[in-house]
Amino acid sequence: MMLQNRPGVEAMKRKLAERSGESPDDYAGLTLALWMMAHGAAMLLIAKTILPKDLKAARAVFTNSVRALLPQGNEVGRPWGYEGENIRHCLLA
């Protein structure tokens, strides 16, 4: 996989595996998905493609997307809000 031998990626796979007791290599696909999603979000923010008025909603969509991908998604922090709304609503908003 293209993410081998990257210390940050290996740490992320280990962290994901810690909670489940599975092998870090079992999380290679999920790690790639999260890495690609975070990179895309960062690029959109750097390029200022997302308007300032939409930043809060964009961050909530990102947070809820990560939550939806993670097996322990309900444990992911909610720093930008949309508490009380379901994930599907935030992803489609």
Residues 47 and 57: beta-carbon distance below 8 Å: no
pTM over cut 0.75: no
pLDDT in tens, 27-56: 888 888 998 999 999 999 999 999 999 999
The pair of structure tokens assigned to 41 is 């979000």
- pLDDT at site 55: 93
- Locate the domains of the chain by residue range: 1-47, 50-93
What b-and-e string marks burial along 19-51, b requiring 16 or more CB atoms within 10 Å of the CB?
eeeeebeebbeebbebbeeeeebeeeeeeeeee
With pLDDT > 90 as the criterion, what percentage of the chain qualifies? 31
The pair of structure tokens assigned to 81 is 């809000």
- pLDDT at site 70: 83
